[in-house]
A and B are shown apart, each in its own frame.
Chain A
Amino acid sequence: MMIIVNVFGKEVTLKRPASLALESPTLRDVLLALKEKVEGPWTHMIKEDLSLEPGCVILVNGRNIDSLEKRETKIHDGDEITFTVLVAGG
């Protein structure tokens, strides 16, 4: 499957495609695969236990996973996953 990954942090990366050999994965499966098998600017944000660095959150298709099914959120082909710091204000 192919997912799209964004990172909004000390580095900003937009719409990086990532090919994952997964079928009907949860976000937990995707995080593990991204951490271990796909090099990218998200690597330093994901800790060993698949939690994130303080002040960072994950959005799936623009929604915070805490308002979805958290790490059990189902990920589908073409989904957009965003690792972001807690941006504030304009």
Chain B
Amino acid sequence: MKGITGRLLEIDLTHGKTKDLPVSRQSFEKYIGGRGLGARLLFDLLPPKTDPFSPDNPLLFLTGPLTGTMVTGSSKFVVITKSPLTQGWCDSYSSGRISVELKKAGYDGLVILGKSNAPCYLRIDNKSVEIREANHLWGKDSFETERLLKESEKDPSIGVSSIGPAGEKRVRFASINSDLYRQAARGGVGAVMGSKNLKAIVAKGTKGIEIHDRNQMVTLNRKNYQRAKKSEVAQARKKYGTPLTLNITHMGGILPTKNFQYSTWEKALEKIDSIGVYKSIIRHKACLSCFTPCSFETRISEGKFRGNVLEGPEYETLGMFGSNQLIDSLPFIIQANILCDQLGMDTISTGSVIGFIMECFERELISPSQTEGLEIRFGDSEASLAAIERMALREGFGDIMAEGVRATANFIGNGSERFAMHVKGMEFPAYEPRGAFGSGLSYAVSPRGACHRRAWPPAKEILGSYPPYTIEGKASMIKGLYDENCILHSLLVCDMPAKFIPLSLDDYSQYLRAAIGESIPAEEFQKTAERIETLIRMFNNREGFTREDDTLPYRTLHEPLPDGPAKGKCIGEENLNKMIDEFYGLRGWDASGIPTEQTINNLEL
């Protein structure tokens, strides 16, 4: 089949062996690639109830059938493993040159098993796979690691993915970094990599990627490029990037503020929103293979971090380090983002844990005597930066915070779990669900914990026609959004061009035909998405998850919002349960959230 290589590279770090793992055409037809193929592989490879840090936990790097083609946003890859943060399913997405280089070297992805007895890194090209010692890299931050590897290869165009000290120290929300500023960040994939003593992966391929119909691919790209040029949304996105989202979430009353106590923050405007960030942009950037760019580099223009450069910050970081910590300093947020990238940690979870501790201090549930003198209060940017480093290095109280907000709340106790904002142990991203009830359902039923990538409900509830504070129709709405993104994440394309050009699944079906010579009709995509999502549900059920895990924090369910358009609103257990019942029904799962025999048979699982 064109577009894919039909083989994965299996690396056994325990025994220092590698081998090709053929993937059948039927597997691609049934699961597409990316998230879908990963669901099948993890379900089959992971012994049930395995500790995420056990050598038996596989670490999968997967591409999709459009990776490395000319399709816009096709330089993505996904890392799939059992999460040390949630103890369940984890898929974490990133852009990065490594996706394309792996495919050009002849692999659709990597299956990494076992554990090396000493720090190592993988070097992969067309002809060879080497497990090299990495003692000289261990302890280095991600930026330095990437620089040293590119220097030793004498080739700046190689693909490098690496972990920082946080991954080495198994911080449960440690990231895997690529191309300096791109992170597969959610769920602790970097910690699993660290547990295998795997510091980095280097890939360089020169084989090229064969596709079925190049002319058709070029024709589709010309057409869609013109659509992007005419799209007001794409042009706004190109200019401002994701910081524009902050203006919408503030306006719509879903901007997390003061550890999700409030939903709007006027002080953010013109400082850490689209206008504020735009003033610091020094150049716009695009991911490889993207003609609808939305990235940019900023430079800190004042203060003690003056001159430091970052690709970003993105909206999530602005929310979790800005409004959620009551800090309106863009230089601070850029510096916090740089630190998280260097040390190798998810900015969402890191920012969320710090916001939680700030509220604990405010409520006098902890004192500096318990945190080795570190007093972290809302608005204190210096303390926030110090907390990042302590978490990454697991120093002092940072060792507790590095376990995530759920574990930190368990440690502190005294009712703090009521405002520990997480689902299944994974921290909330930067959207307040009380201002858009569908977001609450989306967080609750997400297999990887509170997630903004499976669905982006503000598109429907703030910008669309769905009333935000009702539950009617929300289960169907969330299922539709989940299924669409499931396909995009299995084709493994960025879901942003789909939203702002926009490109439909029919458009991607045409791209797929140009790439592999076969198209999948929209109704088949639908069934495939349901198959993948149900398989992931079965995985989590096998790991011990039940309906009780599909829930929301006390604050979201029971504390009315004190401000914004959603003032007075909270979701309530009854509303959440009704939405979950309906969602399960639409999925063909029983009232306990277990897929029925009929569903399993219909989906050929």
Structural contact, B242 and A89, CB atoms closer than 8 A? yes
Would you give the 0/1 interface string for A16-59, flagging 1 where the beta carbon is closer than 8 Å to chain B? 00000000000000000000000000000100000001111101
Structural contact, B459 and A88, CB atoms closer than 8 A? yes
Q: Which residues of A contact B237 (CB under 8 A)?
A: 85, 87-88
Chain A residue nearest in CB terms to B266: A15
Structural contact, B429 and A90, CB atoms closer than 8 A? yes
Question: Which residues of B from 490 to 549 have beta carbons under 8 Å from A?
Answer: 495-496, 499-500, 502
Q: Which residues of B contact A8 (CB under 8 A)?
A: 236, 244, 247-248, 274
Chain A interfacial residues counted at CB < 8 A: 29
Would you give the 0/1 interface string for A71-90, flagging 1 where the beta carbon is closer than 8 Å to chain B? 00000000010101111111
Structural contact, B316 and A90, CB atoms closer than 8 A? yes
Contacts A90-B314, A90-B430 given; does A85 touch B236 at CB 8 Å: yes
Structural contact, A90 and B315, CB atoms closer than 8 A? yes
Complex-state Cα separation, A80 to B565, whole angstroms? 11
Structural contact, B456 and A14, CB atoms closer than 8 A? no
Q: Does B440 belong to the interface (CB within 8 Å)? A: no
Structural contact, B245 and A89, CB atoms closer than 8 A? yes
Structural contact, A10 and B236, CB atoms closer than 8 A? yes
Complex-state Cα separation, A12 to B269, whole angstroms? 11
Complex-state Cα separation, A36 to B314, whole angstroms? 37
Q: Does B362 belong to the interface (CB within 8 Å)? A: no
Q: Does B564 belong to the interface (CB within 8 Å)? A: yes
Complex-state Cα separation, A10 to B240, whole angstroms? 8
Q: Does B374 belong to the interface (CB within 8 Å)? A: no
Would you give the 0/1 interface string for B467-484, flagging 1 where the beta carbon is closer than 8 Å to chain A? 110000000000000000
Contacts A62-B252, A64-B464, A66-B465 given; does A14 touch B244 at CB 8 Å: no
Question: Which residues of B from 431 to 453 have beta carbons under 8 Å from A?
Answer: 431, 452
Structural contact, A6 and B247, CB atoms closer than 8 A? yes
Contacts A87-B233, A89-B499 given; does A64 touch B459 at CB 8 Å: no
Structural contact, B232 and A10, CB atoms closer than 8 A? yes
Chain B residue nearest in CB terms to A90: B315
Structural contact, A14 and B275, CB atoms closer than 8 A? yes
| Nearest 5 pairs of A and B residues by beta carbon | A66-B465, A90-B315, A88-B499, A62-B565, A55-B233
Seen from chain A, the residues whose Cβ lies within 8 Å of a Cβ on chain B are: 6, 8-10, 12, 14-15, 45, 53-57, 59, 61-64, 66-67, 80, 82, 84-90
Provide a sorted-by-A list of 27 A–B residue pairs whose CB atoms are within 8 angstroms. Answer: A8-B244, A8-B274, A12-B278, A14-B275, A45-B232, A56-B232, A59-B252, A64-B463, A67-B464, A67-B466, A82-B251, A84-B247, A84-B251, A84-B463, A85-B233, A85-B236, A85-B500, A86-B233, A86-B459, A87-B236, A87-B245, A88-B237, A89-B245, A89-B452, A90-B429, A90-B430, A90-B452
